[in-house]
Amino acid sequence: MPNNTATKPVVLLAEVLSPATIEALGPDFDVREVDGTDREALFAALADADAVLVRSATRIDAEALAHAPKLKVVARAGVGLDNVDIKAATAAGVMVVNAPTSNIVSAAELTVGHILSLARRIPAAHASLSSGAWKRSSFTGAELFEKTVGIIGLGRIGALVAARLNAFDMRVIAYDPYVTSARAQQLGVQLVTLDELVAESDFITIHMPKTPETTGMIAAEQFAAMKPTAFVVNVARGGLIDEADLHEALVAGEIAGAGLDVFTSEPPAEGSTAQALLGLPNVVVTPHLGASTDEAQEKAGVSVARSVRLALGGDLVPDAVNVAGGVIDPYVRPGIPLVEKLGQIFSALAQSPITSLDVEVHGELNNYDVSVLRLAALKGVFTNIVSETVSYVNAPLLAEQRGIAVRLVQDDISEEYRNVITLRGALSDGSQLAISGTLTGPKQIEKLVAINEHAIELPIEKHHVVMLYTDRPGIVAVYGQKFGDAGINIAGMQIARQAAGAQALSVLTLDSPVSDELLEDVSVAIDADLFRQIEIAEV
């Protein structure tokens, strides 16, 4: 029997992942398994691996990477990347991906669970009752209604927590130096300083990344400023709250209690401050369960499996953390296929080699990171003009090899549309070419809105013909007749001109491609200065 896996890329599963993860990888890979905690076995398995999928137990560091000469991508089925040496992977040319949104709902719900557990003293009441006691008066709690919750960090998880606690009719305030007041208003949140937040809040929950700046950001000074009835919750990262200072504040009664899912060292070491926190009666603890739901684990595995497929296929990987592109905002994402198609149109209309290309982004999009649109433009430009497969990975290299200078140009001005993207390039014959497009309506219809100085508005379809000719009576009848005689249906048409008798630009949408002979016949019949057929490849 032939070996059908010989030419398939090897994907190594270093930890147990859901069946849905393997299903999402599909049949195109040689999927192998290894115990990633067994370093020698891991090193041996990495020798043939094109990709490795891990969770939290497997360390992919410089030593592991040295045993993986073929490795192209490390995929962490989860949010954190503490067990992956990103710097070493980048130096080795290995892409690192994770699943940044897989556990956000689970983490937000666990946060609310901790807040409710603290407010109503649920764990202590459970322990008392299960031991045989019935002490209702010992477990009087507090309502969340009309209390103030302070959220430190209004990112994806913080925003979900805000939405859920708004439903309890709480006053929601937040501290996040990178969030605008307009965004906070959308979330029903009032932005305040950190000092105001700790002083005013009945419940404080932290949702910040762990950095040198945020480590220990809630410490003795903040505890001293809190209400004695305040509760603090951390399901984000161990170390954001100074554990020694927290222990002192709880023992001294400076605050009422704490809910902790994460610790500086996990599991808490014998004799450590973290372990001392576990024994306090006003602390609710869980063993790092933020992502521990069936739904989150499945979403994480499926997400990174899809990223692996994209990475090994040479395509853009939205969740890559160490390559250009990065996480793409949902508002930017619909523009990617539009810009790829504009790139195809640009290269089809260019009458000589491209020497420089500006990717101009005009309008509201400039409130977001649009760097991915530069990659999309290059991929579109080269898709139909080079023999090799073009990807987001090699498109910049193709431009560099051809000496094409590429810039991303941005401004907020877009007079007719909310956003307009223009590809403007210089050609080797000294001419210039500009192609503009936009997305319109609730369905985000991709439209071509300008070619050079000619304004049009035509949905981008698979088959187009572009004609430039001197405007005069009867031209439309000429090419309409010829296409009709050949059985070519014109599904749409736009004509633009500057003045009577000047050059006219006609863009046709056709139901089928046109033969080279018919194109030449029509071009001669109308005495066209430019006549091009554009076939849009699938993106």
Of 32, 156, 288, 532, catalytic: 288
pLDDT bracket for residue 325 (50, 70, 90): very low
pLDDT bracket for residue 391 (50, 70, 90): low
Query: Residue 90 pLDDT more than 80?
Result: no
Beta carbons within 10 angstroms of residue 115's beta carbon: 26
pLDDT given for residue 388 in this prediction: 57
pLDDT given for residue 236 in this prediction: 92
* Sequence-ordered alpha helix ranges (H) in 318-389: 335-349, 371-383
Query: Residue 203 pLDDT more than 90?
Result: yes
Q: How far apart are the first and last CA of the chain?
A: 37
Amino acid identity of 486?
A: A
Residues 521, 478 contacting (CB under 8 angstroms): no
Q: Output Rg (C-alpha) for the chain, integer angstroms.
A: 30
Q: Is 237 a catalytic residue?
A: yes
In angstroms, rounded to a whole number, what is the distance separating the alpha carbons of residues 396 and 390?
Answer: 10
Taking the mean position of all CA atoms in its chain, how far away is CA 469? 44
DSSP 229: T
Of 114, 237, 362, 464, catalytic: 237
Query: Residue 111 pLDDT more than 90?
Result: yes
Query: Residue 198 pLDDT more than 50?
Result: yes
Structure tokens at 438: 């936009």
Contacts of 248 (CB under 8 A, 6+ apart): 220, 223, 254
pLDDT tens-digit series, residues 246-294: 999 999 999 999 999 999 988 998 889 999 999 899 999 999 999 889 8
Structure tokens at 112: 């609310």
Question: What's the per-residue H, E or C state across 234-273?
Answer: ECCCCCCECHHHHHHHHHHCCCCEEEECCCCCCCCCCCCH
For the chain, the maximum distance between any two Cα atoms, rounded to a whole number of angstroms, is 98
Mean pLDDT taken over the chain: 90
Query: Residue 4 pLDDT more than 80?
Result: no
494 strand-pairing partners: 507
Taken in order 83, 87, 88, 90, is the CA torsion positive or negative?
positive
pLDDT tens-digit series, residues 363-386: 999 888 898 899 899 989 988 887
Query: Residue 74 pLDDT more than 50?
Result: yes
pLDDT given for residue 497 in this prediction: 84
pLDDT bracket for residue 389 (50, 70, 90): low
pLDDT given for residue 353 in this prediction: 84
Mean pLDDT of 64-71: 95
Query: Residue 109 pLDDT more than 90?
Result: yes
Of 266, 416, 520, 535, catalytic: 266
Beta carbons within 10 angstroms of residue 193's beta carbon: 11
pLDDT given for residue 5 in this prediction: 45
Query: Residue 202 pLDDT more than 50?
Result: yes
Structure tokens at 136: 């209702």
pLDDT given for residue 29 in this prediction: 95
Query: Residue 170 pLDDT more than 90?
Result: yes
Mean pLDDT of 65-75: 94
In angstroms, rounded to a whole number, what is the distance separating the alpha carbons of residues 354 and 121?
Answer: 69
Cα pseudo-dihedral 217, 207, 318, 408, rounded to 10: -50
pLDDT bracket for residue 1 (50, 70, 90): very low
pLDDT tens-digit series, residues 403-456: 889 999 999 988 889 999 999 999 988 999 999 999 998 889 999 999 999 999
Mean pLDDT is lowest, of 115-119, 136-140, 210-214, 532-536, for: 210-214
pLDDT given for residue 165 in this prediction: 97
In angstroms, rounded to a whole number, what is the distance separating the alpha carbons of residues 209 and 211?
Answer: 6
Residues 303, 136 contacting (CB under 8 angstroms): no
Structure tokens at 324: 């250009």
C-alpha angle with apex 257: 166 to 210, nearest 5 degrees?
Answer: 75
Structure tokens at 219: 């410490």
Taken in order 516, 522, 526, 531, is the CA torsion positive or negative?
negative
Amino acid identity of 304?
A: V
> If DSSP codes are grouped into helix, strand and coil, which group holds residue 406?
strand
> If DSSP codes are grouped into helix, strand and coil, which group holds residue 216?
coil
